[in-house]
Structure 1
Amino acid sequence: MEASPLGSVDKALLALDALASFGAAGAPLGTLAEAVGVSKPTLHRTLAALRHRGYAEQTADGAYRLGPSALALSNAYLAEENLPALLHPALTALSEAVDELVHLGVLAGREVVYLDKVEPQRAVRVWSAVGRRRPAATTALGRALLSVQELDEAALERVAGDVPLARLREVLAEARRSGVAGETEENEPGIACIAVPLVRAGRAVAAVSVTAPVERLRGAARTERVRALRDTLPALLPAGLTVPGAGMPSAGAPVPRA
Structure 2
Amino acid sequence: MPQAPGSAASPLGSVDKALLTLDALARAGASGTSLAALAAEVGANKSTLHRTLAALRHRGYAEQADDGTYRLGPAVLALGTTFLAEENLPALLRPALEALCGAVDELVHLGVLAGREVVYLDKVEPQRPVRVWSAVGRRRPAATTALGRALLAAGPLRDVPDDGALAAFAGSDTSVERLREVLARARSTGVAAETEENEAGIACVAVALLRAGRPVAAVSITAPAERLAGDARAARVAALREVLPAHLPAGLTIPSA
TM more than 0.5: yes
> Which residues of 2 match residues 2-151 of structure 1 at below 5 A?
2-151=8-157
Letter in 1 for 2:177: A
1:227 aligned partner: 238
Deviations 1:170-218 (A, max 9, x none): 1001111111000000000000000000000111000000000011111
Aligned mate of 1:155, from 161, 165, 174: 165
What is the CA distance between 1:139 and its match in structure 2? 0.2
Secondary structure, counterpart of 1:193 in structure 2: strand
Letter in 2 for 1:108: A
Letter in 1 for 2:181: E
Deviations 1:120-141 (A, max 9, x none): 0001111221001000000000
Where does structure 1 lack aligned partners over 5 or more consecutive residues? 249-258
2 CA distance for matches of 1:35 and 1:197? Answer: 35
2 CA distance for matches of 1:136 and 1:47? Answer: 44
What is the CA distance between 1:3 and its match in structure 2? 1.2
1:204 aligned partner: 215
What is the CA distance between 1:150 and its match in structure 2? 4.6
Secondary structure, counterpart of 2:128 in structure 1: coil
**1:190 pairs with 2:201:** yes
1 CA distance for matches of 2:167 and 2:38? Answer: 48
1 CA distance for matches of 2:217 and 2:70? Answer: 32
**RMSD (Å) for aligned C-alpha atoms:** 1.0
Where does structure 2 lack aligned partners over 5 or more consecutive residues? 1-5
Q: Give aligned pairs, total.
A: 246
What is the CA distance between 1:25 and its match in structure 2? 1.5
2 CA distance for matches of 1:160 and 1:68? Answer: 35
2:3 aligned partner: none
2:229 aligned partner: 218
Letter in 2 for 1:202: G
What is the CA distance between 1:61 and its match in structure 2? 1.3
1 CA distance for matches of 2:154 and 2:79? Answer: 24
Aligned structure 1 segments of 4 or more residues deviating by more than 4 angstroms: none
1:256 aligned partner: none
2 CA distance for matches of 1:240 and 1:8? Answer: 26
Secondary structure, counterpart of 1:204 in structure 2: strand
1 CA distance for matches of 2:23 and 2:154? Answer: 28
